[in-house]
């Protein structure tokens, strides 16, 4: 288009109406002249008028063509179609509401779940070159499968001379008391090696990070700290003047030298564990820097793989380093090994399978939404066949009709998309507030707009294709027939297509429902899991007994005895006990070389046996029933004969029919490698004391007070009333015995169980919602297709009734049609679920992926919903008045 | 678009050709749309049928190019009608179009009947 013409068009835009009118007048004049000539030629005026019209042809079309020359025709057509589409949609409110809701659901649900999955599983962590970051951890045979911290000395040995990784950085967290800023509060501090920030590619938002010499304990200069962005905002109101101010943490003054960037934290630290203050590691090591201390002080270690190295290379090298360290420092490192994993894997943890299950579910939902939109649009399009035929007959070209339909789909998509966007944003926000807080990277989750467009595109595509189906088959020669038939005929051949869409929809919904029921069964198994313990009214907490203050058994033993006695004396306390490991804490201490006297199979020692060190009140407090012999007493202390108790599983496994009481068992050896024997004094019932999901293992209990070292103990207190109410008094007692005694992990056992099942519960609810939505959509789909079929066959039904068909047989006719579709869908869905549910095996507890009950129940649910959806149109068919039906055309 | 070619013996006009014929028609003075149609049909011995569906778009187009201009006038039947006249630019365009048309027909003639075409050339 030349510039001149473009300008002319733009000028004409303002004179649209005038030009339009002039064109009309001009054509009228033309017609009159033609007519006048026809009259001259001898025709009557009427005849002349007809002749003139015939000679001119399609007046409107030529007027439109002429307008097209100077208008921006496509925009006007688009606008016109959009308005027409909107009008049509407004007239069919039911259709519009369902289609928009379906579109919005598909788009919203898919986008929010995919945004979650993308953030947690796919998106690289927000660190420089994060794929090359590894986390190094220790393993120890007794704590199977657990990733333990690395000692500070191990880290310093790995700071140089490694080949597969470099820039090793070290950190550990500590909760400190802050006074002087706002109210006294506990803040999470991370003490880090200065190189950590460089390793993660961080720049401070304000000021600076730590200098290399600030880590060095010998320097003795002023202590420095860096605030996290969040803490800076919360406690200092983002005041830029904080640099140079001091911060009193645990009684030491720190000069604030910087603020870390917005959103920066260590991998995996989020929510309530967010870092508040960064400190150089100097402080904790300063005074106590000695071989023993650095050998046991443990924290996290991060490093960067060298460009050509893989995680596997790092693991090979770490094996060698670990062996060397064990030889050099046997007192700390014997039997310890080092391993590495990518930080990404560490952060994702065991969330992969559950998230993929959710993603799969939402994918099914999207497909159902597509099928639903397709079936809706298809039914509607067939109803409108005559409209298209008329348009074609009036001179609309096929591309013009197609364009109109596409525009209508776009209007629909725009509506659905808008609601969908809102739904997606709401969904993400809801996910963030309802998700269990231990989900990694929760705070990073944002609605992903790329996915949004994609989901919208998919649903739209399905809608547009189905909308076009009737037009693409609209052969020109048939126009007249189509007009005459008024849309009632011709469509039977495509009812197969709509039927197929419904079958697919039912199948997908069934698969979704089966998945949801499997999760529900699994959750109920988990929550109803008998633990073998009484967990109500029990408060637990961990007490640290640092070696600096409890260098030997006497000190530790005295402390434990004293606080248990003091706490038991508190009003409201029923009993108190201690163990070396948290009940339901998720882990076991495992003994690797257990020998049972009189059982030759154990002569070389057997492994994988749980080991708990407990105080005498332990079994009574948790209500673990004694089956044989006696429990521990206060007399089973250091100096007394070494004793042990076992659980029933242990007794059954290693003693068989023999009576264990009075025989001996060993789980450790002395310096010369000879077994240390303990006499079994009692047998107790099996418990699930490590976690709900872990079945009981053979277990040995030993008196805590006969064991040599206890760096920390788990304290348990059974109360008469609410467990948490007693906490302040308990803390007071502990601090009376040890005024620096750090208390961590304060929880009630019931709270632990609730947290344990929080994630499966959340997952189950989410999938339940998806399944419910899927069912609703499927019901709408069935209803739509069956109603349409009834409307199509009104005439046939009328004839049947006129010929004396019973209402029951009419209903049966409709139900047979609908239920055949539903039944086929159920078969298809069952087959689909057979394939898909296997992928869920990893998240199921106590129920197999091919659970017959879930399959059967879901099929029944779908069959009944399908029946209801068919029954309503069937009733309508029954009420068909034969007279009206026969006059229908 | 170009439909209703009812008499098979009549020839269909292509867009470019119609533009040329309109310009040529207006060379003798201003005329309204109906007159243009009649003139072309009669002067082509009824061989051409001017599709009205193409006429008015063509007139609009030529106007936009600035080759013709329009003003309201009164027809012989005392009817208000729009009269088109050739502009100076239109005159130049007509010359261009005419020579292009001659070259075009000559070329077609050569392809179809080389001998005869050469003879006529001389």
**DSSP assignment of A783-831, as one string?**
HHHHHHHHHHTHHHHHHHHHTT--HHHHHHHHHHHHHHHHHHHHHHHHH
Residue A629 falls in which region: left (phi positive, over 0), alpha (psi -120 to 50) or beta: left
d(CA B48, CA A614): 111
The answer to whether the beta carbons of residues A645 and A680 sit under 8 Å apart is: yes
Min distance A408 CA to chain B CA atoms (Å): 24
Minimal-distance CA residue of chain B relative to A12: B64
d(CA A66, CA A234): 68
- Chain B CB contacts of A62 below 8 Å: 52-57
Tokens of A778: 């499927």
What share of chain A has pLDDT > 90, as a percent? 17
A33 CB within 8 Å of a chain B CB:
yes
Residue A84: how many other CB atoms lie within 10 Å: 14
- Chain B CB contacts of A30 below 8 Å: 32-34, 37, 52, 81
Classify A257 as helix, strand or coil: strand
A-to-B residue pairs, Cβ atoms closer than 8 angstroms: 77
Q: What is the pLDDT of residue B5?
A: 41
What is the full DSSP assignment across A510-566?
HHHHHHHHHHHHHHHHHHT---SS--TTEEEEEEE--TTT--SHHHHHHHHHHHHHH
Q: Flag whether the pTM goes above 0.90.
A: no
User: What DSSP element (H or E) covers A717?
Assistant: strand A712-719
Long-range contact pairs involving A431-436 (C-beta distance under 8 Å, separation at least 24): A431/A112, A431/A113, A431/A116, A434/A762, A435/A116, A435/A762, A436/A755, A436/A758, A436/A759, A436/A762
Tell me chain A's radius of gyration from C-alpha atoms. Answer: 39
The runs of H, that is alpha helices, within A14-139 are 16-40, 45-56, 59-70, 73-91, 93-117
- Chain A CB contacts of B84 below 8 Å: none
Minimal-distance CA residue of chain A relative to B84: A26
**Cβ neighbourhood burial of A256 (10 Å; 0-12, 13-18, 19+):** buried
CB contact under 8 A, A70 and B53: no
CB contact under 8 A, A36 and B77: yes
The answer to whether the beta carbons of residues A267 and A301 sit under 8 Å apart is: no
pLDDT band, very low/low/confident/very high, at A314 (cuts 50, 70, 90):
very high
Min distance A72 CA to chain B CA atoms (Å): 14
The answer to whether the beta carbons of residues A503 and A824 sit under 8 Å apart is: yes
The answer to whether the beta carbons of residues A829 and A862 sit under 8 Å apart is: yes
Min distance A396 CA to chain B CA atoms (Å): 10
Q: Between the CA of residue A862 and those of A369, A505, B75, what are the distances in Å? A: 17, 11, 76
CB contact under 8 A, B56 and A27: yes
Chain A 57-76, residues with CB within 8 Å of chain B CB atoms = 57-58, 61-63, 65-66, 68-70
- Chain B CB contacts of A57 below 8 Å: 3-4, 51-53
d(CA B86, CA A177): 95
- What is the per-residue pLDDT across B60-97, written as a single tens digit (0 to 9) for each? 888 888 889 888 888 777 778 888 988 988 898 888 88
Q: What is the pLDDT of residue A454?
A: 77
CB contact under 8 A, B34 and A61: no
The answer to whether the beta carbons of residues A445 and A437 sit under 8 Å apart is: no
The answer to whether the beta carbons of residues A180 and A268 sit under 8 Å apart is: no
d(CA A248, CA A595): 53
> Which of A36-40, A55-59, A96-100, A133-137 is predicted most confidently?
A133-137
What is the full DSSP assignment across B43-96?
HTTT-B---HHHHHHHHHHHHHHTSEEEEEEE-TTS-EEEEEEE-HHHHHHHHH
d(CA A537, CA A622): 10
- The mean per-residue pLDDT over the stretch A278-285 comes to 68
> Which of B37, B64, B66, B78 to mutate against chain A (most A CBs within 10 Å)?
B64
Residue ranges of domains in chain B, CATH in brackets: 15-121 (1.10.10.10)
d(CA A710, CA A563): 15
pLDDT band, very low/low/confident/very high, at A272 (cuts 50, 70, 90):
low
Q: What is the pLDDT of residue A495?
A: 62
CB contact under 8 A, A66 and B59: yes
For β-strands A643-647 and A675-684, DSSP reports them as parallel
A39 CB within 8 Å of a chain B CB:
no
pLDDT band, very low/low/confident/very high, at A183 (cuts 50, 70, 90):
low
d(CA A567, CA A674): 39
CB contact under 8 A, A66 and B33: no
A534 CB within 8 Å of a chain B CB:
no
CB contact under 8 A, B52 and A36: no
Tell me chain B's radius of gyration from C-alpha atoms. Answer: 16
CB contact under 8 A, B53 and A32: no
Instruction: Using the predicted structure, report yes or no on whether residue A164 has a pLDDT greater than 70.
Output: yes
For β-strands A298-305 and A133-139, DSSP reports them as antiparallel
- Chain B CB contacts of A36 below 8 Å: 77
CB contact under 8 A, A58 and B4: yes
Say which range, A442-456, A642-656, A755-769, has the weakest mean pLDDT: A442-456
CB contact under 8 A, A65 and B79: no
Residue A486 falls in which region: left (phi positive, over 0), alpha (psi -120 to 50) or beta: left
- Chain A CB contacts of B65 below 8 Å: 2, 4-5
- Chain A CB contacts of B60 below 8 Å: 66, 69-70
pLDDT band, very low/low/confident/very high, at A292 (cuts 50, 70, 90):
very low
Tokens of A448: 């992903």
CB contact under 8 A, B4 and A62: no
Minimal-distance CA residue of chain A relative to B52: A56
CB contact under 8 A, B34 and A69: no
Q: Which of B53, B55, B81 sits opposite A29 (nearest CB)?
A: B81
- What is the per-residue pLDDT across A295-307, written as a single tens digit (0 to 9) for each? 556 678 999 999 9
The answer to whether the beta carbons of residues A482 and A385 sit under 8 Å apart is: yes
Min distance B77 CA to chain A CA atoms (Å): 8
Q: What is the pLDDT of residue A812?
A: 87
Residue A690, CB-side half-sphere exposure with 13 Å CA sphere: 19
d(CA A690, CA A756): 11
The answer to whether the beta carbons of residues A450 and A131 sit under 8 Å apart is: no
CB contact under 8 A, B82 and A26: yes
d(CA A389, CA A471): 9
d(CA A562, CA A555): 11
> Which of A18, A69, A399 to mutate against chain B (most B CBs within 10 Å)?
A69
In degrees and rounded to multiples of 5, residue A100 shows phi and psi of -65, -45
Q: Between the CA of residue B88 and those of A323, B27, B94, what are the distances in Å? A: 100, 11, 10
Q: What is the pLDDT of residue A618?
A: 93
- Chain A CB contacts of B52 below 8 Å: 30, 55-57, 62
Q: Which of A32, A55, A65 sits opposite B79 (nearest CB)?
A: A32
CB contact under 8 A, A33 and B3: no
Min distance B107 CA to chain A CA atoms (Å): 29
CB contact under 8 A, B56 and A58: no
Q: What is the pLDDT of residue B9?
A: 57
The answer to whether the beta carbons of residues A262 and A205 sit under 8 Å apart is: yes
d(CA A201, CA A302): 13
Q: Between the CA of residue A535 and those of A257, A716, A845, what are the distances in Å? A: 48, 10, 21
Say which range, A4-18, A318-332, A408-422, B49-63, has the weakest mean pLDDT: A4-18
pLDDT band, very low/low/confident/very high, at B101 (cuts 50, 70, 90):
confident
Q: What is the pLDDT of residue B11?
A: 67
d(CA A743, CA A654): 38
**Dihedral sign, CA of A83, A87, A88, A90?**
positive
- What is the per-residue pLDDT across A643-700, written as a single tens digit (0 to 9) for each? 999 999 999 989 988 999 999 999 887 777 788 899 999 999 999 888 887 888 899 9
- Chain A CB contacts of B64 below 8 Å: 4-5, 8-9, 69-70
Long-range contact pairs involving A234-240 (C-beta distance under 8 Å, separation at least 24): A235/A181, A235/A182, A236/A181, A240/A206
Q: Between the CA of residue A541 and those of A172, A547, A712, A886, what are the distances in Å? A: 20, 19, 10, 81
Q: Which of B53, B61, B79 sits opposite A57 (nearest CB)?
A: B53
Minimal-distance CA residue of chain A relative to B64: A5
d(CA A254, CA A277): 10
Query: Which of A870, A788, A776 is CA-nearest to residue A821?
Result: A870
The answer to whether the beta carbons of residues A627 and A659 sit under 8 Å apart is: no
pLDDT band, very low/low/confident/very high, at A389 (cuts 50, 70, 90):
confident
Minimal-distance CA residue of chain A relative to B51: A56
Min distance B41 CA to chain A CA atoms (Å): 13
pLDDT band, very low/low/confident/very high, at B12 (cuts 50, 70, 90):
low
């Amino acid at each position: 288009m030349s510039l001149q013409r473009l300008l002319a068009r733009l000028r004409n835009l303002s004179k649209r109406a005038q030009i339009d009118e002039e064109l009309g007048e001009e054509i009228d004049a033309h017609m009159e002249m033609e007519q006048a000539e026809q009259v001259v030629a001898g025709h009557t005026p009427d005849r002349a008028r007809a002749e003139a019209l015939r000679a001119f042809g399609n007046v409107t079309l030529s007027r439109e063509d002429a307008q097209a020359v100077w208008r921006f025709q496509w925009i006007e057509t688009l606008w016109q179609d959009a308005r027409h589409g909107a009008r049509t949609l407004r007239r069919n409110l039911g259709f519009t509401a369902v289609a928009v809701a379906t579109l919005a659901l598909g788009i919203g649900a898919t986008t929010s779940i995919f945004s979650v999955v993308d953030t947690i599983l796919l998106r690289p962590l927000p660190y420089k070159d994060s794929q090359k970051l590894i986390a190094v951890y220790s393993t120890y045979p007794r704590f199977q499968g657990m990733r333990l911290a690395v000692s500070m000395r191990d880290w310093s040995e790995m700071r140089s001379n490694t080949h597969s990784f470099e820039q090793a950085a070290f950190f550990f967290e500590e909760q400190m008391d802050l006074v002087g800023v706002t109210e006294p509060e506990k803040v999470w501090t991370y003490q880090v090696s200065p190189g950590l920030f460089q390793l993660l590619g961080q720049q401070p938002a304000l000021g600076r990070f730590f200098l290399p010499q600030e880590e060095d304990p010998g320097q003795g200069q002023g202590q420095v700290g860096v605030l996290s962005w969040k803490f800076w905002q919360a406690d200092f109101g983002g005041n830029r003047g904080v640099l140079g101010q001091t911060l009193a943490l645990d009684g030491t003054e720190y000069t604030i030298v910087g603020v870390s960037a917005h959103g920066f934290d260590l991998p995996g630290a989020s929510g309530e564990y967010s870092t508040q203050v960064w400190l150089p590691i100097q402080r904790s090591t300063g005074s106590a820097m000695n071989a023993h201390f650095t050998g046991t002080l443990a924290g996290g270690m991060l490093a960067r793989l060298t460009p050509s190295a893989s995680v596997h290379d790092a693991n090979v090298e770490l094996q060698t380093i670990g062996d060397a360290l064990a030889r050099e420092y046997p007192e700390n490192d014997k039997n310890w090994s080092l391993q590495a994993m990518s930080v990404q894997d560490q952060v994702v943890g065991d969330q992969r399978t559950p998230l993929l299950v959710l993603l799969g579910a939402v994918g099914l939902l999207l497909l159902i939404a597509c099928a639903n939109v397709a079936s809706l649009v298809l039914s509607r399009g067939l109803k409108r066949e005559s409209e298209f035929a008329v348009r074609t007959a009036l001179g609309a070209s096929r591309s013009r009709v197609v364009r109109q339909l596409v525009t209508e789909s776009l209007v629909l998509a725009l509506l659905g998309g808008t609601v969908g966007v809102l739904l997606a944003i709401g969904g993400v926000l809801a996910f963030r507030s309802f998700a269990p807080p231990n989900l990694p990277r929760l705070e990073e989750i944002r609605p992903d707009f790329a996915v949004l467009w994609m989901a919208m595109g998919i649903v739209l595509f399905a809608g547009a294709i189905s909308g076009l189906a009737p037009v693409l088959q609209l052969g020109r020669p048939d126009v007249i027939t189509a007009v005459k038939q008024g849309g009632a005929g011709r469509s039977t051949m495509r009812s197969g297509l709509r039927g197929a869409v419904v079958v697919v929809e039912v199948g997908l919904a069934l698969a979704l429902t089966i998945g949801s029921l499997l999760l529900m069964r699994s959750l109920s198994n988990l929550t109803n899991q008998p633990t073998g313990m009484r967990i109500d009214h029990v408060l637990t907490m961990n007490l640290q007994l640092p070696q600096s203050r409890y260098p030997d058994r006497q000190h530790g033993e005295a402390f434990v005895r004293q606080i248990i006695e003091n706490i038991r004396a508190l009003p409201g306390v029923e009993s108190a006990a201690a163990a070396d490991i948290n009940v339901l804490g998720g882990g076991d201490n495992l003994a690797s070389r257990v020998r049972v006297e009189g059982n030759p199979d154990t002569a070389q020692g057997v492994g994988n046996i749980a080991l708990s060190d407990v105080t005498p009140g332990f079994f009574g407090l948790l209500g673990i029933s004694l089956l044989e012999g006696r429990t521990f007493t206060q007399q089973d202390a250091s100096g007394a004969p070494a004793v042990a108790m076992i659980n029933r599983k242990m007794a059954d496994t290693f003693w068989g029919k023999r009576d264990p009481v009075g025989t001996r068992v060993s789980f450790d050896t002395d310096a010369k490698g000879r077994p240390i024997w303990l006499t079994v004094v009692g047998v107790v019932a099996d418990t699930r004391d490590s976690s709900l999901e872990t079945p009981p293992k053979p277990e040995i209990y030993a008196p805590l007070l006969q064991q040599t070292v206890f760096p920390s103990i788990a304290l348990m207190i059974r109360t008469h009333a609410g467990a948490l109410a007693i906490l302040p008094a308990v803390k007071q007692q502990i601090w009376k015995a040890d005024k620096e005694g750090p208390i961590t992990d304060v929880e009630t056992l019931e709270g632990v169980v609730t947290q344990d099942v929080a994630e499966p519960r959340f997952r189950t609810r989410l999938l339940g919602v998806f399944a419910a939505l899927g069912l609703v959509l499927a019901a709408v789909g069935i209803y739509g297709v069956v109603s349409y079929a009834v409307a199509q066959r009104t005439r046939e039904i009328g004839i049947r009734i006129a010929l004396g068909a019973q209402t029951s047989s009419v209903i049966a006719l409709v139900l047979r049609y609908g239920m055949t579709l539903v039944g086929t869908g159920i078969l298809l869905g069952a087959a689909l679920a057979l394939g898909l549910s296997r992928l869920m095996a990893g998240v199921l507890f106590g129920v197999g992926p091919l659970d017959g009950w879930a399959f059967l129940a879901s099929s029944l649910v779908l069959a009944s919903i399908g029946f209801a959806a068919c029954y309503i149109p069937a009733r309508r068919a029954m009420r068909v008045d034969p007279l009206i039906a026969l006059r229908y055309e | 678009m170009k439909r209703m070619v009812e008499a098979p013996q009549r020839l269909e006009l292509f867009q470019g050709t119609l533009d040329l014929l309109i310009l040529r028609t207006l060379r003798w003075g201003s005329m309204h749309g109906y007159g243009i149609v009649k003139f072309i049909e009669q002067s082509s011995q009824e061989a051409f049928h001017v599709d009205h569906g193409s006429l008015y778009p063509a007139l609009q187009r030529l106007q936009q190019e600035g080759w013709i201009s329009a003003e309201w006038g009164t027809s012989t039947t005392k009817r208000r009608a729009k009269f088109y006249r050739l502009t100076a630019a239109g005159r130049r365009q007509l010359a261009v179009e005419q020579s292009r048309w001659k070259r075009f027909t000559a070329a077609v003639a050569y392809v179809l009947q080389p001998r005869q075409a050469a003879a006529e050339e001389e």
